[in-house]
Chains A and B, each alone.
Chain A
Amino acid sequence: MSSIRWKVTFIITRQRSKSKCYQQPFLLEVDPDEYILDCIERIWAFHDRSLTFRHACHHSTCGACGMRVNGVEKLTCITAIRSVTQDGGTVHIEPLRNFPVLSDLVVDMSTFFLRLEQVNAATVLPLQEACLPGEIKDQPVIESGQYERLVDCIECGLCISACPTALTSSSYQGPATLAAIQQGCQPGNQPFQILLADHEDGVWRCHSAYECSAVCPSNVDPAARIMNLRRRILTQHIRSLFSRQPEEAKNE
């Protein structure tokens, strides 16, 4: 942080339940290295106590504070003012898209959590399995015991908000869920999740816009995982063409 101060106008999209939304400006004096979420909390504390927003950990582990900042999905607790505007500039804050708005910046993510729960998305994994596909697993080799960590996906919903396919199809499983299936399932091992993925609302609905990976604040790279899952499913289909099941053979 520095001693420099900028004047920045925050234009926040406001909405009370069921009434029309409107935009409200707040002029703030900020430190350019301050995080957006801290400014929003300040607006609530000193300017308008009716402002509603979600937040908890303030350091990108909980995924509660996702919003659209100047039209781009951001985890506001780790987004510095400097990275989105300049002195005298404006910052537009909107709720995430593709979720129903409860009020102001708070959206209803219940369907999103339901989908993750349905596929039993992992929360904690052994260190070696918690990495990106193809990522070099260079953790020190320990002779005794194994380490674990909370997985990369913080379930913030930014990928759903950025996804043009989710915008047009509410039944689409969405990047986070498909990424969780990719991470949790070996082919042939968990048929239920693979069936969900190998479906018109699964990996085949994705139009490869890659917006999910562009906005993901947490290294999940859902788009790459979706492509990887497609490859695995296709491989399985092609293999099954050449190796008929014993039952099928009997029926002929």
Chain B
Amino acid sequence: MSLTNKPHVIIIGAGFTGCATAHDLALRGFDITVVERGEIASGTSGRTHGLLHSGARYCVNDPEAALECIEENATLRKIARPCIEFNGGIFIALDESDLAYADSFIEGINSCHIQVNELKPAHVLAQEPNLNPHILAAYAVPDGAFDPLRLALAFAATSKENGAHFLLHHEVQELMVDGQGNICGVKTWDRHADRKIDIKGDMVVNATGAWAGQIAGLAGVRVPVIPTPGVMVAYNQRLVQHVINRLNVPGDGDIVLPQRRMSVIGTTSFTVEDVDYIPVTDEQIRLMYERACALVPAIRQAHQRGAYMSARPLIGSSVQGRSLSRTFKCYDHQESDGVTGFVTITGGKATTCRAMAEKTADLVCRKLGILAECRTKEMELTSYRKFYLYGYS
């Protein structure tokens, strides 16, 4: 694959993290091949809620993730504007328990330096007439919505402009190991042509999110990723313009997100073993409907347009589901397991994908002895459509 003497890095996975990492490393002068068993963003990334987090949701329980979010929120708005609807978000209090959360919310939001404005309930209702009228308190934050596929494509298209190759529908079946036990490439199954292709590289980056444990398993190492799915239900009317959040500890079905002509409610949180197919159940759809109606009663006049499930890749620890941090982690398997040529990046949010890529690229540079600065913070991404214009590989 490599026709140059630049170091060749193979990235497994073309979700947000894989595409953003390809972009970062291509800018730093690496030769990049991304292998993906499906399409761009056909796993967790495509099925995200589409919320460009301000960090406000995590400012009390998970300030590390909140700080990452607010910083990357501003960055993505700068570099990926055509993929984003930026109309702001509102946290609303509907009962006493919500009101009781307000103090810690404000404290958290201030300590994370997230811009916040307290709004008068009457003022909120004038702007958002479809909201539950029994609002007790409301706070505006810089939330937004994005189109998941286009965001991933924008990173991928820009990396292609800088020379990266994408092999879609190529499933990694084995990792190649040299005589000294180092990872030196991947063995893939090209599902377009039904043939096997081996690709050699100087480094393999495992950017497979919720599947990171499975790919790490091919190298005989463990990554403590806990696939934690949540359900989303889309309704056929755009009933609000702001992202509406319930002002409380993060829970099920407490965000209504406007996107195109729809309102999308999410989400839940539970853990699974197998992430290849996770069914959406009636109970979850009913729960989302009830919760959505509590925030935006006009949902009752709308129809369900879609319902879907996606598995967050949360970094495991002794706690469960909602209490797991939304931050990300980069694993150097040489350090942790004595396996060279192999790193894993997982965890995180769509909003923080660029930062995840930066950290991964820093590690790859360190390991391959390359001195190159990250340049992705300021550089505007190219049009997502260009991904297809440079051919399919």
Q: Which residues of A line the B interface, CB within 8 A?
A: 1-3, 16-17, 35, 38, 41-42, 45-46, 49-50, 52, 54-64, 77-78, 102-103, 106, 108-110, 112-114, 116-117, 123-124, 127, 139-140, 142, 147-152, 154-155, 218-219
Q: Are B392 and A108 touching (Cβ within 8 A)? A: yes
Known: A1-B282, A16-B192, A148-B85. A60 touches B392 (CB 8 A): no
- Complex Cα gap A149–B385 (Å): 18
- The reply to whether B241 and A59 form a contact with Cβ atoms under 8 Å apart is no
Contact partner, A58, options B128, B171, B308, Cβ 8 Å = B308
Interface string of B18-33 (1 = CB under 8 A from A): 0000000000000000
Which of B5-13, B76-84, B359-367 has 4 or more CB atoms under 8 Å from chain A? B76-84
The answer on a CB contact under 8 Å between B383 and A117 is yes
Contact across chains for A110 and B392 when beta carbons are under 8 A apart: yes
Nearest CB of chain B from residue A1's CB, rounded to whole Å:
4
Q: A102-B392, A150-B260 are in contact. List 11 more A-B contacts (CB 8 A).
A: A38-B279, A38-B280, A52-B192, A54-B42, A57-B47, A59-B262, A60-B305, A62-B149, A103-B192, A110-B388, A114-B388
Inter-chain contact A149/B258, CB cutoff 8 Å: yes
Could you tell me which residues of chain B, from 378 to 393, have a CB within 8 Å of some CB in chain A? 383, 385-389, 391-392
In the complex, are the beta carbons of A127 and B50 less than 8 A apart?
Answer: no
For B110, what are the chain A residues with a Cβ–Cβ distance below 8 Å? Answer: none
A109 to B388: give the CA distance in the assembly, Å: 7
Which residues of chain A are near B40, meaning CB under 8 Å? 56
Report the minimal beta-carbon distance from B125 to chain A, rounded to whole angstroms: 10
Q: Do residues A152 and B261 form an inter-chain contact, with CB atoms below 8 A?
A: yes
- Segment 45-95 of B: residues with Cβ below 8 Å from A: 45-47, 50, 81-87
CA distance A78 to B307 in the complex (A): 8
A19–B238 Cα distance when bound, in Å, is: 45
The CA-CA distance from A127 to B191 in the complex, in Å, is 41
Is B194 among interface residues, defined by CB-CB distance under 8 A?
A: yes
Q: Is there an interface contact between A54 and B39, defined as CB atoms closer than 8 Å?
A: yes
- In the bound complex, how far is the Cα of B191 from the Cα of A16, in angstroms? 8
Q: How many A-B residue pairs have CB under 8 A?
A: 160
Contact A78 B305 (CB under 8 A): yes
Establish whether residues B148 and A56, one from each chain, have CB atoms under 8 Å apart when the complex forms: yes
In the assembled complex, which residues on chain B have CB atoms less than 8 Å from the CB atom of A56?
39-42, 45-47, 148-149, 152
Interface size class of B (residues with CB under 8 A): 35 or more
Residue of B nearest to A58 (CB): B308
Give the complex CA separation of A149 and B45 in angstroms. Answer: 20
Given contacts A35-B306, A106-B192, A150-B259, is CB(A55)–CB(B238) below 8 Å? no
A59 x B169 contact (CB < 8 A) = no
Which of A49, A61, A154 is the one whose CB lies under 8 Å from B50? A61
Question: Could you tell me the distance in whole angstroms from the C-beta of B23 to the nearest C-beta in chain A?
Answer: 18
Closest residue of chain A to B41 (Cβ to Cβ) is A56
From residue 280 to 312 of chain B, which have CB atoms closer than 8 A to chain A? Answer: 280-282, 285, 305-308
**B147 & A62 in contact (Cβ 8 Å cutoff):** yes
Flag if A147 contacts B264 (CB, 8 Å).
no
Task: Find out whether the CB atom of B46 lies under 8 angstroms from the CB atom of A62.
Answer: yes
Contact of B272 with A by CB under 8 A: no
Tell me the chain B residues, 309-349 only, with Cβ under 8 Å from chain A: none
Assembly CA distance A148 to B387 (angstroms) = 25
Q: A124: which of B42, B84, B128, B386 is its contact (CB, 8 Å)?
A: B84
* Chain A residue nearest to B308 in the complex (CB): A58
Q: Which residues of B contact A219 (CB under 8 A)?
A: 261
Is B217's beta carbon under 8 Å from chain A? no
Q: Mark B139-156, 1 if CB is under 8 A from A, else 0.
A: 000000101111010000
Closest to B235 in A: A59
Q: Within the assembled complex, what's the spacing in Å between the Cα atoms of A55 and B309?
A: 13
The smallest beta-carbon distance between A211 and chain B, in angstroms, is: 22
CA distance A203 to B34 in the complex (A): 40
Q: Mark B108-150, 1 if CB is under 8 A from A, else 0.
A: 0000000000000000001111000000000000000101111
On chain B, the residues within 8 Å of A78 by CB distance are 305-306
Asked whether any CB of chain A lies closer than 8 Å to the CB of B204, the reply is no
CB neighbours of A46 from chain B (8 A): 277
Residues of A within 8 A of B306 (CB): 35, 58-60, 77-78
* Contact B169 A52, beta carbon cutoff 8 Å: yes
Which residue of chain A has the shortest Cβ distance to B193 in the bound complex? Answer: A17
Instruction: Tell me whether B355 is interfacial, beta carbon within 8 Å.
Output: no
Residues of A within 8 A of B279 (CB): 38
Is B232 part of the contact surface with A, judged by Cβ < 8 Å?
yes
In the complex, whether B276 has a CB less than 8 A from a CB of chain A is yes
